[in-house]
Amino acid sequence: MTLSRQLVTLLAVLLLLVFVGTFFISVQNARTYLEVQLESHAQDSATSLGLSISPHMVDDDLVTVARMIDVIFDRGYYQFIKLEDIQGEVLVNRELSIQVKDVPAWFIEYLPLKAPEAEALVMAGWSQAGRILIQSHPGFAYRQLWGSVSETFGWFLVSALFVVGLGLLLLRVVLSPLKEVEWQAESICNREFPILDKLPRTRDLRRIVEAMNRLSSKLKTMLTEHEDLAAKLREQAHQNPVTGLANKRYFMATLNHRMASPEVCSYAVLCLIQLRDLQGYNHKHGYAAGDELLCQMADLLRNIATDIPRHTLAHLSGGDFALLAEDYRISEAEVLGRRLSDALAGLCSNNELQPVDNGHVGIAFFDGRQDASQLLIEADEALRMAQSNEANSCSFVVSKDAAKETARSASEWSSFIQQALAKDRVALHLQPVYSCPQKEIIHHEVLVRLIHDQDAGQLMVAGTFMPMAENLGLSAVIDKAVIERVLLLLKKAADPDFSLSINISPSSLQTEGFLDWLEEKLWANEQIARQLIFELPEYGAVTMLDQVHDLIKRVNRFESQVALDHFGRGFSSFAYLHSLKINYLKIDGSYLNQIDENTDNQFFIQALTDIAHGLEIKVIAEAVESETIWQSLQALNVDGGQGYGLGRPAAWPDA
């Protein structure tokens, strides 16, 4: 086969693969979005209509109720609206047959849209009078989906025909070597989309380079659009639409995961912030002013949380906000409480100072003993205490045991950590990471423990001492000690298939000389360097991309790999993944909470997996705590899993 035919064949196959994959993802994403909109539309209408007709049910005024239902139903966006009494007897029934115009029948058959049935209670005073049932009409959604699919298919078809046609024309007259074009094609496969600015003088070759430049731009655009769509849908599912903060569902999933994961979070502070009488403020100034007030409060909280390295900030509902500050101690919580109180006192809107009492703050301390529910109860108790005190006050609920355990000073922590390192009181545990669905061990993660009591064998997990080590500037010292120990043990094991992942603190990358030291160690242990995977938490990596790039560049020389840990903890963009040559993404465990029922998280994991695989990045799920979660992950195309449901950490026998 001639070179031109080979290139044409390759180009056609690449375009076909990109088209099929992107077209399928676009259709599925659009379909999922429209189904969510149908469900939301029906539920919102049911809730609104139920509230509207409840006053008339007190007088049993079915005529007025029927008229109100007719007003809603006559808009034509509903398949049916039914009003049933408490015994299930239909009082009012309005139905509309499904007729979808301008959409082929085969399209509806192969891409059916689910229009879920929504319901809401109808009250008559304090008693239930019945329920309202609503199902949205899918006709408009079908027309939107058909239009989107038709336009997308046409655009791709025209683009593909144009690029292939131009490629055929140019490749026939190619006489010069295509080294730059070959390099550009290899770069695209290597997660880069370069543009050749310097064009050859040969007219025919110039056309080929220009065509490849356009192809590079289009591929980048298509991937960017997919990433943007996934990010927008994630925001809709996990962010409050008014303030842009995390919503209650995301916050509760995060809180449950953190409280159940001592390796991730051993202590934390939970703050509940509540604005006073937001409903009254809305009635007085209007809901637009109320939304502005909420946004001002959200901005104040964002400014306060900026200084907290690991935090989750959420708008729960109405005037209720929450701030989870991980690795925060009681002394730090007192300062945080004062800052929150000051923020409430200074809150204003419509150029008018708010009443003196703007709100209150309740703070509870997590010491590793409570679960999420108990911690919320304690924080709510503190909030009620604050509401009974002075204006804009803050109250704390802290157990005596927690106060005693966190009373250790910074100097005592520094002495304890340094002595543990000097006296070799460092223990290494290993937790397996399994491939999905084969359930074969890919590698092990190294988990660091400090021996707290030599005689009793008490161990302190990294989630307890590492935050303090970072504050004291000792994280690089710990990371060096762990890396040296791992290298020695790998030499002793002499097993080339035994791979280990080591966690590196973000602050270590900012420590002068750390990367030079690491490179020297890898040079000295070049034969086993390929068995190492260095893990960085995403929330730290995104703030120091230059240092991360430097780390990746250095360790790749020795075939070591790099992973991003706790991915998705924040709402950062997917865009930076293009520039990072990482090998693994580890999905934060908060996304696995009830994954078998949570379709939003399923979509996020599926979209993330698709994007990562397009960049040749493997995806591993953290916190796989049950067989149900493991089975759900197999359908989402992830590459592996890690968690107590698969394998618990165990002491390294030779360590």
Of 347-351, 355-359, 443-447, 468-472, highest mean pLDDT: 443-447
pLDDT value of residue 39: 81
Q: Kindly tell me if the per-residue pLDDT of 406 is higher than 70.
A: no
Of 82-96, 201-215, 398-412, 495-509, highest mean pLDDT: 495-509
Distance CA 625, CA 608 (A): 21
pLDDT value of residue 175: 47
Is pLDDT larger for residue 412 or for residue 180? 412
pLDDT tier for residue 435 given thresholds of 50, 70 and 90: very high
CA distances from 201 to 133, 136, 204, 607 (A): 70, 61, 9, 43
CATH of 19-144, one of 3.90.76.10, 1.10.287.1080, 3.30.450.20, 3.40.470.10: 3.30.450.20
Share of the chain above pLDDT 70, in %: 90
pLDDT tier for residue 453 given thresholds of 50, 70 and 90: low
pTM, 2 dp: 0.63
Q: Kindly tell me if the per-residue pLDDT of 351 is higher than 60.
A: no
**Residues 486 and 532: beta-carbon distance below 8 Å:** yes
Mean pLDDT value of segment 383-408: 75
pLDDT value of residue 454: 59
What one-character-per-residue DSSP string does 602-641 give?
A: HHHHHHHHHHHHHTT-EEEES---SHHHHHHHHTTT-SEE
Is pLDDT larger for residue 300 or for residue 236? 300
Write out pLDDT tens, residues 594-644.
788 888 888 888 888 888 888 888 999 988 988 888 988 888 889 999 988
Write out pLDDT tens, residues 219-277.
777 777 777 777 777 777 788 889 989 899 889 888 888 888 877 788 889 999 999 88
pLDDT value of residue 53: 81
pLDDT tier for residue 402 given thresholds of 50, 70 and 90: low
- The residue written with tokens 């618990």 in the block is 648
Residue 524 phi, psi dihedral angles, 5° rounding: -70, -20
pLDDT value of residue 173: 52
Write out pLDDT tens, residues 196-234.
777 777 776 777 777 878 887 877 777 777 777 777 777
Mean pLDDT (the chain) is: 82
Closest CA to 403 of 493, 330, 480, 317: 330
**Residues 256 and 591: beta-carbon distance below 8 Å:** no
Mean pLDDT value of segment 386-394: 86
Task: Assign a CATH topology to domain 410-651.
Answer: TIM Barrel (3.20.20)
Write out pLDDT tens, residues 124-178.
777 787 888 888 877 777 777 778 778 877 877 787 777 777 776 666 655 454 6
Write out pLDDT tens, residues 407-424.
566 788 888 888 888 888
pLDDT value of residue 619: 93
Q: Kindly tell me if the per-residue pLDDT of 354 is higher than 70.
A: no
The string over 517-533, giving b where at least 16 C-beta atoms fall within 10 Å of a residue's C-beta and e elsewhere, is bbbebbeebeebbebbb
Residue range 248-405 forms a domain whose CATH class is alpha beta
Task: Tell me the domain boundaries of the chain.
Answer: 19-144, 173-238, 248-405, 410-651
Q: Are strands 394-397 and 311-317 parallel, antiparallel or unpaired?
A: unpaired
